[in-house]
Amino acid sequence: MIRFDHVSKVFRGQTDPALDSVTFEILRGEFVFLVGPSGSGKSTVLRHILLEDSPTKGQVHVLGQDLAKISNRKVPYYRRNVGMVFQDFRLLANKTVYENVAYAQKVLGKSRGHIRQAVPDVLKTVGLQGKEDRLPHELSGGEQQRVAIARAVVNKPAILLADEPTGNLDPSTSREIMRVLRRINKNGTAVVMATHDVSIVDEARQRVIELKDGELIRDEAGGVYTPEVVKYEEPEAPEIASEAPRGKTIAAAMAERVAAPDRRPSGRNEDIDSPTTRLPDAEEDDGADFADGADLQDGGAR
């Protein structure tokens, strides 16, 4: 549904790339954390998906469309599919909770009847029923972020992007916001969340994509913020240590080996001993999934 194919971005006046041949695919309904140090490229990834930046090299496909081929005229239509929330909420200060959310529907020309139904529904989803008439300054930070999330998802986008949505919140409020995001994700919206929040990532155990200096250095299902560093000791099966795919801990590779007993050595085995033997997952990581160009051909959402 979101596909980055060797995407590089060098901003004008810069020599170092903000993104350096980044390749990944996110499927419908996934929840994905983007992690990495400040300046590693997380927001740049999100801005590419939102069509606020375009690649210097490579392609971005979202919902079956090559974003480079979307004309300026069609950008607002495209963006209806992509909600966005930020660390600093970005609410309209002189509008109530209800009006902030309803505004997102009004600009799309939705009828008053539709708005009267949709806004209370989404405010209930984010746990803000009863606060419709408050102004942003009459809300806590967590409540303001809930309004921002309600506004981002009221039009039921396929994708919700969140750029450090818990960055201004205390740990327990951050957890509440995570519960809201998970609820929205369970309703079918894919969520891509850039974050520095170690405990949120470690508790959620979702897919983690890690960037460093613009390069994707880890893409791990059920990951943590910082993978456990495994102390190297004399390995029982030396090929595991030497073949662990990039971004995967040795412990993870060992666990996979245990889960695939048919590939474990039962005495001397030519295949296992061969330096070219690959773990099953390593074969999936080579980009073969992208080879058929299905998005391009069928023009439909994946």
Ligand X SMILES: Nc1ncnc2c1ncn2[C@@H]1O[C@H](COP(=O)(O)OP(=O)(O)OP(=O)(O)O)[C@@H](O)[C@H]1O
Least distance CB 159 / ligand X (angstroms): 18
> Interacting stretch for ligand X, rule CB under 6 A, among 38-46, 59-67, 88-96, 130-138?
38-46
Please report whether residue 14 would count as binding ligand X according to CB under 6 A: yes
Least distance CB 197 / ligand X (angstroms): 11
Question: x/- site string to ligand X, residues 181 to 220, per CB under 6 A?
Answer: -------------x--------------------------
Please report whether residue 64 would count as binding ligand X according to CB under 6 A: no
> Interacting stretch for ligand X, rule CB under 6 A, among 32-40, 154-162, 172-180, 261-269?
32-40
Which residues make beta-bridge pairs with 249? none
Between residues 13 and 267, which has the closer beta carbon with respect to ligand X?
13
Between residues 162 and 279, which has the closer beta carbon with respect to ligand X?
162
Between residues 6 and 263, which has the closer beta carbon with respect to ligand X?
6
Residues near 206 by Cβ (< 8 Å), separated by ≥ 6?
31, 32, 33, 222, 223
Interface residue with ligand X among 3, 26, 31, 42 (CB under 6 A) is 42
Please report whether residue 52 would count as binding ligand X according to CB under 6 A: no
Please report whether residue 44 would count as binding ligand X according to CB under 6 A: yes
> Interacting stretch for ligand X, rule CB under 6 A, among 35-43, 76-84, 107-115, 264-272?
35-43
Interface residue with ligand X among 1, 7, 20, 40 (CB under 6 A) is 40
**Which tokens go with 85?**
């929330």
Q: What Rg value do the Cα atoms of the chain yield, rounded?
A: 22
Question: Footprint of ligand X on this chain (CB under 6 A)?
Answer: 11, 14, 18, 36, 38-44, 194
